[in-house]
Chains A and B, each alone.
Chain A
Amino acid sequence: MAIDPVIVSSMTAAIEEAINKTLQYSPASQKHIDQLDGAVIDICTDPFNIRLQFGNQRIFIHHQTDESPAQATISGSPLALLRLATSSESLTNLGKNSVVIEGDSETIQQLYAFVKTLDIDYEAMLAEITGGIPAHFIGSSFRSLRRWTKSANESMESNIEEYLQEEGRQVPARVETEIFADEVDELTLAVDRLAARIELLVQQKKESPNT
């Protein structure tokens, strides 16, 4: 049984409202929204396909019931699209992310630039609800927590690496691994050369059996 369009529309309405509300707190993105004015882009993450339509400094989110073609289509798993939106890679490396992009490349470039310039001022959003001082306190605490988490994560990675390589001798050091990998590469090449040489000798033997 098909889903009632009203349910789908209520979802797209909620997403649209949330996105447009959030965009108000990213003034740097406004220029890119203006450049995308009139653009229609399909985002296909089966089974939920949506259409982004830019206009009047807003993004309209539609379920894809309209049969007319979009200017560009981006297809991929939700995870791949999320990785694409959050990665720092250039647009030329997108093929590695299992994301398929079709259509007008200029529109895609503009969308990519728009996503990359998103810098949402969450503290300002929060300040509208809680007032400036609590928002600043929560924002500062959040930033401190994020810095601490990042630092602790890096420190933990470094300590685990050092213990496994230097103290426990469970895994080789990175340099040792690289040297070993180089030696394997050289061996592979040598074996290939040897195989080619043998192949050549066998061929020569077949062509002149009396020599």
Chain B
Amino acid sequence: MSQITDSQKPEASAHQTGGQTHFGYKNVPIQEKEARVADVFHSVASKYDLMNDLMSAGIHRLWKRFTIETSGVRKGHRVLDIAGGTGDLTMKFADIVGDDGEVVLADINASMLKVGRDRLLDKGYGRNIEFVQANAECLPFPDNHFDCVSIAFGLRNVTNKDRAIESMLRVLKPGGRLLILEFSKPVLPIISKAYDLYSFTALPVMGKLIAGDSESYQYLAESIRMHPDQETLKAMMETAGFARCKFYNMTAGVVALHTGIKP
């Protein structure tokens, strides 16, 4: 497994040209990406939580915690957790909104949704949670419906990110908040080098040993590099129509939380 070089990495801005889009560092037909991403998550769903804890040394819990702290969600609110996966954010949101509120855990992947639903039901959640299989690009919800929409570690897997952000804007109520938690670009060069080394050597090995699948974790590392950096994503949110857009770098920019308000 070799470390990434600039010549290997395609231009992130060159995504979706000529009917092609990126799937990690590969270019694939746009209509294929969704199925390929689905295969990745079908493959890793059962070991998803364990791998998250191992890969991040548990820090992903603090990234998600900060997202909740920034959400401004209150009792009685209606929250949409897109790409909710195994339900980490949904659980916290459900505690806060209480029985008067509602949390929708949406994921495009049936395997992830099943793992998330089983996990939440086993923990005694469910009264104020709905589980919906949905594509972030065309959310099956009415306009102006949610007080808060979150997508944690999901946007980079979406084929058309602009369309997904526009869809999130549509379902938010005016004054509602979008939270995008996603891997981003480290702000310190030394961290960036160490992070690349870790991503392209340790992650696939861990994936092979724990989840029996190194390719999915190779894709994870590649897809992170292809994801828009902090400023680009912020500009995408502003272009979609969000106001007061800003981002918080976490762990030296390895992860960033973007927030925006629907005007």
Contact = CB atoms under 8 A, between A and B. Distances in A.
Contacts of B252: 4
Q: Tell me the interface secondary structure of chain A in the complex.
A: mixed
Contacts of B59: 6
B70 A53 contact: no
B98 A38 contact: yes
Nearest to A54: B75
Given A4-B251, A6-B62, A68 B72 contact: yes
Q: In the complex, which range does the number of interface residues on chain B fall in?
A: 20 to 34
A62 B69 contact: yes
Contact of A5 (B74, B96, B250): B250
Interface string B62-75: 11011011111011
B76 interface: yes
B153 interface: no
Nearest to A57: B95
B65 to A, nearest CB: 5
A12 B252 CA distance: 19
Q: Tell me the interface secondary structure of chain B in the complex.
A: helix
A65 B71 CA distance: 9
B147 to A, nearest CB: 11
12 contacts: A6-B66, A8-B66, A37-B75, A38-B74, A53-B74, A55-B75, A55-B97, A58-B95, A63-B66, A66-B72, A68-B72, A68-B74
Interface of B: 59, 61-63, 65-66, 68-72, 74-76, 95-98, 248-252, 257
Interface of A: 4-6, 8-10, 12-13, 37-38, 40, 51, 53, 55-56, 58, 60, 62-63, 65-68
